[in-house]
Amino acid sequence: MRILICNDDGIEAPGLARLVNAALGLNDDVWVVAPDGKRTAAGSSLTIAGPLTMRRVKPNWYACSGTPADCVVSAMTWLFADEPKPDLVLSGINDGRNVAEDIAYSGTLGIAREASFWGVPAIGFSRVKNPDFGATDDEWLGKLIASLWQSRAEWATEGHWLSVNLPTALPAEIRQPRIGRDKIGRTAEVVESAGDRTIITVPRGRAHASEPGDENAAIDAGFVSINRLNWFGETRLDDGFLDGIPRWRQS
């Protein structure tokens, strides 16, 4: 069993080391490809027709100059070009929860989404800020990964992946909440303004909005939140919708 681990917090992030430690409880064929710096909210963006620098940090560990999703692509197309592809892709552990609109923004989930394009089961892991780390956290997480791997036939169908949010303390019971609304990037701050030129920043943070039954509610109540996501973007229009659209002809 070959496992590829990527993240969006960078090659030196503590959450990455914890996820590697948990994965090593399943198998020692574990590989890491992670950005050379923090790439928060990079989503699933790729570097196309531009150079990517791959730096070997230590055996089986590589730092990539690109985006989180680039890490998956570089692994599939270069690192494992002449070797067996990974059986499982893990991403994280993100420093902070990934909920609501983060499905679109998150580099952690962008990794899992990209892995699904390659037909590889993938799980994105995130955890609340400043958790209460326990001595058995990594072991417990390794058992959770093993359980999810064993049940992959139920969730790893084409185009699907899992998003797992870990609460403050582990071990914890598991819930499958609904996707809520808690958008990041709601405000802007003016840094400098002179004439026609204005510099703004969009600060970190979110409102931590929550409604009963959503992800934030489950996480705040101490549960592990697991959601099955997919990248299928099509929603069928009602029958007859196109009948109301003018049929333009070339003149």
Angstrom distance (rounded) from CA 89 to CA 114: 10
pLDDT at 22 over 50: yes
Q: Could you tell me the two tokens for 194?
A: 């002179």
**pLDDT value at residue 248:** 62
Q: Which residues are annotated as a binding site for a divalent metal cation?
A: 8-9, 94
Task: Break the chain into its structural domains and give their ranges.
Answer: 3-183+212-232
**pLDDT value at residue 251:** 46
Average pLDDT over residues 127-131: 96
Q: Which residues are annotated as a binding site?
A: 8-9, 94
Average pLDDT over residues 56-66: 97
**pLDDT value at residue 247:** 67
> Mean pLDDT lowest for which of 61-75, 176-190, 210-224?
176-190
Average pLDDT over residues 189-208: 91
**pLDDT value at residue 240:** 78
pLDDT digits (tens, 9 = 90+) for 136-160: 999 999 999 999 999 999 999 999 9
3.40.190.10, 3.40.640.10, 3.40.1210.10, 2.60.120.680: CATH of 3-183+212-232: 3.40.1210.10
Confidence class for position 206, pLDDT limits 50, 70, 90: confident
